[in-house]
């Protein structure tokens, strides 16, 4: 069972992911401080002011898109030491892991990658996991079924 703040962080990251214009992969991130205050949010997309056309062209998209974690870190514009980043629907890649570590974020909470996600990006996830271990960054993954169960309970409670 997810605790209240873990669920809230992941649920908010899920909502933020819907803001992405990427037709194939929508990712959201939320950074909370130690008092559970929202510091920043981010979703995967092109840099501010760049035309969103071309998302269907995978090769161009991969060269232009900023990941949600990077957007959240850049928009924070403050020290992120000891903050937690919640990432939905999959773990950060190794490039984002580097930025997370460098920013001072001390905890990452996300969902386990699906078999399809792991097949596609597993090498990146594995490198990121090693980086977290090297720097003693707290990393916690929950199964999608755990998260979905909490969402259902939340919906049944009228939230």
CA–CA separation, 21 and 14 (whole Å): 14
Query: Which among 14, 46, 19, 45 is positioned nearest to 29, based on CA atoms?
Result: 14
Separation of alpha carbons 116 and 90, rounded Å: 11
Is residue 60 part of the annotated active site? The answer reads: no
Catalytic residue among 69, 116, 146, 149: 69
The SS3 of residue 105 is: coil
For residues 103 and 56, give the distance between their C-alpha atoms in angstroms, rounded to a whole number: 31
Q: Which active-site residues does the annotation give?
A: 69
């Amino acid at each position: 069972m997810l605790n209240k703040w873990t669920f809230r962080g992941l649920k908010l990251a899920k909502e933020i992911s819907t803001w992405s214009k990427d037709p194939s992969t929508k990712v959201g991130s939320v950074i909370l401080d130690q008092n559970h205050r929202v510091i920043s949010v981010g979703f995967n997309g092109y840099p501010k002011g760049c035309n969103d056309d071309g998302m269907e062209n995978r090769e161009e998209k991969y060269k232009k898109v900023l990941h949600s974690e990077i957007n959240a870190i850049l928009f924070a514009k403050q020290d992120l030491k000891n903050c937690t980043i919640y990432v939905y629907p999959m773990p950060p890649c190794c490039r984002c892991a580097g930025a997370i570590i460098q920013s001072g974020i001390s905890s990452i909470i996300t969902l386990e990658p699906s078999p399809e996600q792991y097949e596609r990006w597993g090498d990146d996830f594995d490198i990121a996991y090693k980086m977290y271990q090297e720097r003693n960054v707290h990393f916690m993954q929950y199964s999608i079924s755990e998260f979905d169960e909490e969402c259902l309970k939340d919906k049944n409670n009228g939230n």
